[in-house]
Structure 1
Amino acid sequence: MAVSYAGWPNPWTISARNWLPSWHRRQGKTSSSMGSRRGEGEMHWPSIMIVHWLRNAESECAREGWTCLPDAIRYIQARNPAPGPKKYGCSSWRQILHEARVFEMEKRTDSSSGATVAWYRSRLSALSN
């Protein structure tokens, strides 16, 4: 017999993908407090894999506290051939940095090529999450 306690569904009869978004609504969470991935409801940006990859790249590639985004991308792609930003509904790595809201980002001009390059670092408040 399926038993439900205080509005919690029976875990054997419902998938997490379908139930989790409704649970967030009951808890008062909105899409502005949660990131979204196309077709899969809401997600918590700081805990998704691509953010973990960016943080790993940051710890390995940082120079004076900042990480060059193209260096981080190369580092990630050499270790994780998994899909990139499009899997998370973003058109670029820079959009991932923006949407995650756990990184600071700045643009710098490369002295040798003159190209504008994005650099990032973790926000101090995000490190405690």
Structure 2
Amino acid sequence: MNQLYEGVLPDGQIHWPSTRIVQCLLQHCAVDPVAWVVLGPVIQSMRADVPEEVPSKYGCKTWRQLLKRSELFEVRTDLDNRTGQGRTWFRPITSDKTESTSQTT
């Protein structure tokens, strides 16, 4: 029987739905699972609440890479007109969504 430790199998494969980082991300989407959530404030919250949960723990360089690699979230980016900086938005992929609005950057 395969033993999972925080979503990671002994051979290094990741079972994304079982990871704590994905569970935390999903909690931030729980209020309205079809609404887009801005990633920046979520990262700040997670750094305060669960600082050990970082993308590098799961072999990812960035949060956006983790969202995409998990294949559990739709991801989009845009430009914040006030600051001129890029923003990443995400939401869980659900079976009732009929069209994908995921964009790669």
TM-score scaled by length of structure 2: 0.74
What do residues 75-96 of structure 1 show as CA deviations (whole Å, max 9, x unaligned)?
1112112141101000010011
Larger Rg belongs to: 1
* Aligned mate of 1:72, from 42, 52, 69: 42
Structural RMSD (CA)? 2.8
Higher relative contact order (CA 8 A, sep 6+): 2
Q: Give 3-state SS (helix, strand or coil) of 1:52's partner.
A: helix
1:58 maps to what in 2? 29
2:99 maps to what in 1? none
The gaps in structure 2 that reach 5 residues or longer are 97-105
User: In the alignment, is the contact (CA less than 8 A) between 1:107 and 1:118 conserved in 2?
Assistant: yes
Q: Give 3-state SS (helix, strand or coil) of 2:64's partner.
A: helix
Correspondences of 1:45-124 after superposition (within 5 Å): 45-59=16-30, 65-124=35-94
Rounded Cα–Cα distance in structure 2 between residues aligned with 1:79 and 1:66 = 21
User: In the alignment, is the contact (CA less than 8 A) between 2:55 and 2:61 conserved in 1?
Assistant: yes
Rounded Cα–Cα distance in structure 2 between residues aligned with 1:65 and 1:106 = 12
User: In the alignment, is the contact (CA less than 8 A) between 1:104 and 1:123 conserved in 2?
Assistant: yes
The gaps in structure 1 that reach 5 residues or longer are 1-7, 9-14, 18-34
User: In the alignment, is the contact (CA less than 8 A) between 1:85 and 1:92 conserved in 2?
Assistant: yes
Aligned length: 93
Q: Give 3-state SS (helix, strand or coil) of 1:42's partner.
A: coil
Sequence identity (%):
32
Aligned AA (2:86): T
